[in-house]
Structures are given as structure tokens and as C-alpha cells.
Structure 1
């Protein structure tokens, strides 16, 4: 994992610093999502954070089930934020989720 573009290297470094205990399967998905074209205009740290919160929301909470039950996205996010922060803390992340400033994912 040492090569790649400068952006890839930066995102790898930020990933290790931001969520050092994330499982490899999650870290690989987050890394790939952070490099997605629709996030390319964002700074690497922002792209990584959006990819991280999206992965946690969709893979480690009941967010999608809440949407399927008819909840609006903002309401569903509100109900899963505690679970998301718990997963992030388990992964060694000290950053907190800001529901007001986060873009939909």
C-alpha cells in the first residue's frame, strides 16, 4: 500500500490516523469510496470523513432498515448517530459526527 498518487497516499495516511483500529474489510471500502469521482473536488480529509461515516451508517447501523420503514433520511440519521459514534470509537476515532454539517450519503 505504499504506492499510488499523492491523493491516494494522503488518504491512506489519514485513514490510519483517523480510524486506526478499523477492520481491514471496512478500511478498504472506505479508502475506495474516498477516491470516488464525486468526492474528488473535496480535500482528502473531507472525502475520507464522508466515506467513513457513509460506510459506518450503511454497514454497521439500522439506517437502511429505517429508510425502508419510511423514515426520512434526516430522521434515520438522527436515530443511528449514537451507534455510529460507538463504532467509530471502537475503531479509535476521536472525531464526533456533526449531523448539521454532514452531506447526505
Structure 2
């Protein structure tokens, strides 16, 4: 399986807004549940570096993701670096609420 790993750094004053926009993407994903998609986003301990790991398709079709992308250049301190990766394994525990 192939995946993409995207890493970038936001301006300090834009990090919280960046996180809010990412959370909006996950909210829309929860409603639309694109089949075969695995998507994870991390905010690293420095508070301004973000890493996204995506495997599959469907994120770019979301209105929330398009909004995230539209305003991303204004939030960036270091442009995104994208690397292709091979998935070696994935484990997701079922969470009962």
C-alpha cells in the first residue's frame, strides 16, 4: 500500500487556526466516511509543526479540506514537504463510546 506523508511548519500565530481547520476536515470525514481512506494528522510537540499521513482517496473532495488548502499559504512558515511511503502495517483499535 502506498501513502503520502506531508510535513510543514506554520507561523506560531497561525498554529491554532491550522489545527481548527484540520479538525473541520475530520468532522466532515466522520459524516462522509470515504471508503478505503486512512488519514491521520499530528501536531508535534513544538506546537507549529504538523504531519499528515494519508492513504487512499477522498480527502481532497471535501469542502473542509478545500478550505484548509485555500488558506494554507497564509499560515505557513515552511512549505509542505511531501514524501511517498509504503505502508508496512496499520492497527486501529475499535473504540466504543
Q: TM-score, normalised by structure 2?
A: 0.31
Quick check: which one's helix share is greater?
1
Quick check: which one's strand share is greater?
2
